[in-house]
Chain A
């Protein structure tokens, strides 16, 4: 299946800095989801987006559903050590029967 283009692949940042990552697709998506995966655990849903242009926050996390419906970004403000992990974007194309497509992930490393 199609793979979303997620960037950057990895980020090394200092505590307190802001983080930004994005995903793009050649297809129109109905839904964008952002997940975080800690080592040895399953992906945990952070934010869900359903409408083009929608901007949604969850604590220090903010995500937006792109106007073209082909992209989304996730921002993390004032990063802390527990933000370390792999962040995945995932999208549902129209009539996808739940066939979620995942980006390759962004590895975030936060140094004190």
Chain B
């Protein structure tokens, strides 16, 4: 029944490692997003894909690479993890990115801790 799901829920790793976070939505939406929430709870968009095509790429280090194998999945791969990458990462989805009715639905989040 889950609408937007993410795995893993928690991720603890060492600096310099490479890790991936997976996201899936069963809402039939065309657009998916990755957000980063910092320690002050501020939410900032990182990437967006519409039908597997990248449409938003904010100023994010190129160590972060999103991949969308199909429109129901958007994964986030992070190379050479740094301490500052520690945060909660949220996946979200919406019907479209240019439609008026663009409500975004969020997953439960992945708490990444880099030691």
Q: Do A and B come from one complex?
A: yes
Give residues in A with beta carbon < 8 Å to B.
1, 3, 30-31, 33, 35, 37, 40-45, 48, 50, 86, 88, 90, 92, 95, 97-100, 102, 104-105
Residues of A within 8 A of B41 (CB): 37, 86, 104-105
B102 with A104: CB separation less than 8 A: no
- A44-B106, A97-B55, A98-B56 are contacts. A50–B45 as well, Cβ < 8 Å? no
18 A–B contacts from the bound complex (CB under 8 Å): A1-B44, A30-B100, A37-B41, A40-B108, A42-B106, A42-B108, A42-B109, A43-B90, A44-B106, A45-B105, A48-B103, A50-B101, A90-B43, A95-B98, A97-B48, A98-B55, A99-B45, A99-B48
Task: Give the distance in Å from the alpha carbon of A88 to the alpha carbon of B4 in the complex.
Answer: 19
CB neighbours of A37 from chain B (8 A) = 41
- The answer to whether B90 and A42 touch across the interface, beta carbons within 8 angstroms, is yes
The interface size of chain B toward A, counting residues with CB under 8 Å, comes to 30
Instruction: Give min CB distance, B61 to chain A, whole Å.
Output: 16
Nearest chain A CB to B99 CB, angstrom units: 9
Which residue in chain A gives the minimum CB-CB distance to B31? Answer: A98
Chain A positions within 8 Å of B101 at CB level: 48, 50
B1 within 8 A of A: no
Contact A98 B48, CB 8 Å, known A43-B90, A86-B41: yes
* Chain A: minimal CB distance from B43 (Å): 4
